[in-house]
């Protein structure tokens, strides 16, 4: 089982991501898709946070499963921020489409840090998990501060 | 790369799933979560269907990536159908909570068929993909007919 886990992490680290230009029939579909991926990602990420903050008992097996979902989902939303998907019923600021390079870099950092979170979750070491969780959470915050309206 | 893919598929086949009783703070959170997972799952599944039906050109690499997302997401919603999550703003019929065993069996079949779809997507064989897609789609239909209101 440990080898299977390691191989999965290797697959993620090797960069199995979706193409940047994906096929959405309508802008509304892209917005719904990215909102749904953030929603699922956030729930699993928050569960890890509840453990690292001591709000629920640490369970390394559950943390690893949550980290697997987080790392897999973090790769999805980038493909749904194409041109023309700046809709008023979303939290995306228009700066996203004016600063595409910085936005993409922040997304890539999120992918890198959530992949690292998954690697660390494998160790079952709560102190290391706390640090990796904090680093991943910082990539959320940095991007939200710059590109999410409230 | 082929070995990495094979290992990932082995990990999925080994049954890396979430526990049946998961931690949702409120019933609304569980409903939102399962709706979001179905939404993302459906988009990637539909993309494979567009290829198997010839509506878009077959691209085995894209089909494989879609199948990876489908197989990973298919394992998530079961945990969100706990007692008390029968809310009026959802499509879930109340029979789900009266026939929990059959509902779970149908869910397990979806997981099995989407895992098989991923295995077949690795072969890059369009005819085999068509058959596996059809089998997976049947598990969607059977469960929707019994347990989804329209």
CA nearest to A35 within chain B: B36
Q: How confident is the model at residue A18 (pLDDT cuts 50, 70, 90)?
A: very low
Give the three-class secondary structure for A6.
helix
Question: Cβ of B4 under 8 Å from any chain A Cβ?
Answer: yes
Q: Is A40 in contact with B43 (Cβ distance < 8 A)?
A: no
DSSP at A14 = T
Query: Measured between CB atoms, which of B11, B40, B47 is closest to A40?
Result: B40
Please write the tens of the pLDDT for every residue from A29-85.
Answer: 999 999 999 999 999 999 999 999 999 999 999 999 999 999 999 999 999 999 999
Closest-CA distance, B116 to chain A, in angstroms, reads 17
Neighbours of A97 (CB within 10 A): 15
Q: Which residues contact A56 (CB under 8 A, 6 or more apart)?
A: A47, A50, B23
Q: Is A56 in contact with B23 (Cβ distance < 8 A)?
A: yes
With a pLDDT cut of 90, the percent of chain A lying above it is 82
In this structure, what token pair is assigned to residue B8? Answer: 């990932």
pLDDT of residue A23: 76
Helix (H) or strand (E) holding A51, with range, is helix A27-52
Rounded to whole angstroms, the Cα distance separating A39 from A93 reads 18
Residue that wins the pLDDT comparison between B58 and A20: B58
ipTM surpasses cut 0.85 = no
Neighbours of B14 (CB within 10 A): 13
What pTM, to 2 d.p., does this model score? 0.85
Mean pLDDT of chain A: 89
B21-39: b (≥16 Cβ within 10 Å) or e: ebebeebeebbbbbbbbbb
Q: Is B4 in contact with A10 (Cβ distance < 8 A)?
A: yes
With a pLDDT cut of 70, the percent of chain A lying above it is 85
Q: What is the pLDDT along chain B (150 residues), one digit of tens a residue?
A: 344 455 445 555 554 444 434 579 899 999 999 999 999 999 999 999 999 999 999 999 999 999 999 999 999 999 999 999 999 889 999 999 999 999 999 999 999 999 999 999 999 999 999 999 999 999 999 999 999 997
């Amino acid at each position: 089982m440990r080898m299977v886990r390691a191989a999965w992490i290797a697959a993620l680290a090797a960069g199995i991501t979706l193409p940047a230009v994906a096929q959405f029939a309508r802008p509304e579909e892209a917005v719904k898709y990215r909102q749904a991926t953030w929603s699922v990602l956030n729930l699993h990420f928050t569960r890890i946070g509840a453990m690292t903050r001591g709000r629920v008992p640490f369970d390394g097996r559950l943390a690893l499963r949550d980290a697997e979902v987080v790392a897999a989902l973090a790769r999805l939303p980038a493909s749904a921020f194409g041109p023309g998907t700046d809709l008023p019923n979303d939290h995306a600021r228009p700066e996203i489409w004016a600063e595409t390079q910085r936005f993409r870099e922040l997304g890539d950092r999120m992918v890198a840090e959530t992949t690292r979170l998954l690697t660390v979750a494998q160790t079952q070491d709560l102190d290391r998990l706390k640090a990796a969780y904090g680093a991943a959470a910082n990539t959320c915050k940095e991007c939200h501060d710059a590109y999410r309206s409230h």
